[in-house]
Homo-oligomer: A and B are copies of this chain.
Amino acid sequence: MRHRLKDVAERAGVSVKTVSNVVNGYVHVRPDTRARVEEAIAELNYRPNLSARNLRKGRTGVIALAVPELDIPYFAELARHVVTAAGVHGWTVLVDQTGGGPEQERVAASGIGDHMIDGLIFSPLALTADDLTGLDGIPMVLLGERVDHGPADHVAVDNVAAAREVTAHLIGLGRRRIAAIGAQRTPEGASARLRLEGYRAALAAAGIGYDESLVAPASAWHRADGAAAMRQLLASGARPDAVFCFNDTLALGALRALHEARLRVPEDVAVAGFDDIEDGRFSVPTLSTVSPDKEAIARLAVELLAGRLAGERAAPARELSAPYRLELRESTEGPADA
């Protein structure tokens, strides 16, 4: 059975007009009312029938999510949340894997094909605020650390604060030789820059000197890069007793390298990551990490985009911060039954 607007309104205990306002992305809906409507939409698996309206407005009902790499699990998990959040508006989401290159990113930001997509949720690596300002693009919401205070709405977590907290957790375990894996000096490495800044701030606050021999670069952030960086740190004589990896895949690679070196985690070296991907909940040992609220990031991005599509195109660009928390597991805390 296909549910109608009226069914959603009844279930949520609001008027049909209010449901319509939520589906259409109008901002003047109270947050608790919006939440109730979104819950009813999810429970009834309601999908707005938008084809007539889309035709009238010259819309396709399709948005794109452009990310650098789908085989970084963070982006695959984020994509699932964006698909769910976009379902509230009846949108189909197509995912564009840009590879982080400027040409493919420009194709995405220009709307991919003429009139193909209504809007874009975009995590750029190559393009800057200036590049995006110059484009005659489509309604867009930016994710990630590459561009902030740019020409479009932006959702991110506070990377400096999160990195500082997870480093402080390692210091709180009594560790003093805390390595960092994932440093990047390229302009694209904005996440790396902010996470390194948080790491340094935590060391400084604890009165621990910054030791460059403990900071390992990684041009890509896959498992192989983390394993290679960890092996190099161990071979260099830097003798770390903990390591903060700038994402979870780097950390999973580092765990493997520590296992091969017959070092115990966390007894010899404590390990923490960033992203809270599913892998780290099942690895041996399980991985302590910064857990950005991906569901909130996806929901905020979709709501901002819905607002722009509902006619707020001229409003100034907004900067929204999504919450995060530390997830402490075996790689820093040891096994639960030890």
Q: Which residues of A contact B (CB under 8 A)?
A: 47, 60-62, 64, 69-71, 73, 76-77, 79-80, 83, 92-97, 99, 103-104, 107, 112-113, 116, 222-224, 227, 252-253, 255-256, 259, 278-279, 281-284
Contacts and interface: CB of A to CB of B under 8 A. Distances in A.
Contacts of A61: 113
Contacts of A79: 70-71, 95, 97
Contacts of A64: 94
A80 B80 CA distance: 17
A103 B223 CA distance: 36
Contacts of A93: 96-97
A120 to B, nearest CB: 12
In the complex, which of the residues A94, A99, A222 has the most CB atoms of chain B within 10 Å of its own CB atom?
A94
A103 B70 contact: no
A52 to B, nearest CB: 13
A284 B254 CA distance: 11
Contacts of A222: 278
A328 to B, nearest CB: 18
Contacts of A278: 71, 222-223
Contact of A60 (B77, B80, B116, B282): B116
A284 B282 contact: no
B83 A92 contact: no
A101 B51 CA distance: 20
A76 B70 contact: yes
In the complex, which of the residues A99, A256, A282 has the most CB atoms of chain B within 10 Å of its own CB atom?
A282
Q: Top 7 A-B pairs ranked by shortest CB distance?
A: A94-B94, A95-B95, A70-B76, A256-B282, A223-B282, A60-B113, A71-B76
A208 B282 CA distance: 32
B83 A97 contact: yes
28 contacts: A62-B116, A69-B80, A70-B80, A70-B95, A71-B73, A71-B76, A71-B79, A71-B80, A71-B278, A76-B76, A92-B96, A93-B96, A94-B96, A94-B112, A95-B95, A116-B116, A223-B281, A223-B282, A224-B282, A227-B282, A252-B279, A252-B282, A253-B282, A255-B282, A255-B284, A256-B284, A279-B279, A283-B284
